[in-house]
Amino acid sequence: MVEVSMEDVWVEIGGVEVLRGVTIKVEEGASYAIVGRNGAGKTTLLRTLLGILKPSRGRVTARGRGRILDMTRTPPHKLAELGVGYVPQGRMIFPDLTALENLEVAYGGPVPGDTLEWIYTILPELKRFIDRKGMYMSGGEQQIVAVARALVRRPSLIVLDEPLEGLAPRVVKSILDALREIKASGVSILITESGTISRVRGIAENAYGLDRGEIIYSGDLDGLERDPEARRRIWGL
Ligand SMILES: Nc1ncnc2c1ncn2[C@@H]1O[C@H](COP(=O)(O)OP(=O)(O)OP(=O)(O)O)[C@@H](O)[C@H]1O
Ligand SMILES: [Mg+2]
């Protein structure tokens, strides 16, 4: 199991403070949605949590497998070793590699047969295009590969950055089904969402509301929808 947290984190990009005093905690065994408008800082928050971006101030800590990592001074792959999978915004799969080759690159060699079988039970459609190159896949198929790639090391937490963005309703449904299946198999989920929270209901039970780089809500997911400050700042209601 793994737990990650940020404490009073500030991140500056090009002279602009994109995260301003963010404190969040992702406890082991629990799932979370980070909800905020476009440009609120969701991707920056995830990238900082994963150790890809370094904050100008604050603490980022990961605990798991008997280790404590200071993610402000640890390369991101160490977090992957602790059991954290990542599905970046925009999917970022290799276009000239097949689906299987994309998984192998992430694993660092042939993916064990039982892991591949487990992935097929979660993403049954993957089987259909496992030997197709990324460049010949639809956006939905690429997203399925991106989710599969985050599962190859059997993580205990998977972090997904707007995995439903720009997908047709049918594909949204199959990704959501897969996420419910992943959760049911004991993997925790941290997901960002810029639209309505109804899509992530059943995926995350906890939420953080993010606006202009500040956490404006922390609590259960349904409470976010009722919170006056969140309603005003996230949805303009
Ligand atoms: N590399 C960068 N260079 C310049 N500005 C950046 C960069 N990355 C992020 N920003 C700025 O930081 C702010 C937060 O960006 P971020 O991508 O974290 O938001 P987001 O909530 O993920 O948005 P979206 O919903 O569009 O993905 C935005 O105002 C964005 O313009
Ligand atoms: Mg983003």
Domains of the chain by start residue, with CATH: 2-235 (3.40.50.300)
| Residue 234 pLDDT > 90 | yes
Question: Residue 21's pLDDT is what?
Answer: 98
pLDDT at 173: 93
pTM of the model: 0.95
- Buried b vs exposed e over 95-124: b needs ≥16 C-beta within 10 Å? eebbbbbbbbebbeeebeeeebeebeebbe
Band (164; pLDDT cuts 50, 70, 90): very high
Three state DSSP letters for 22-91: EEEEECCCCCEEEECCCCCCHHHHHHHHCCCCCCCEEEEEEEECCEEEECCCCCHHHHHHCCEEEECCCC
pLDDT tier for residue 123 given thresholds of 50, 70 and 90? very high
98 band by pLDDT with thresholds 50, 70 and 90: very high
Q: What is the mean pLDDT of residues 137-155?
A: 96
d(CA 190, CA 206): 9
Q: Cα(47) to centroid of ligand 2, in Å? A: 10
pLDDT of 195 above 90: no
Which residues make up the environment of ion ligand 2, defined by Cβ < 5 Å?
42-43, 89
- Is the distance from CB of 27 to CB of 1 less than 8 angstroms? no
Nearest residue (CA) to ligand 1, atom 7: 13
Residue 216 near residue 230 (C-beta atoms within 8 A): yes
Predicted confidence band at 190 (pLDDT cuts at 50, 70, 90)?
very high
**Which of 6, 12, 42 best tests ligand 1's pocket when mutated (most atoms within 8 Å of CB)?**
42
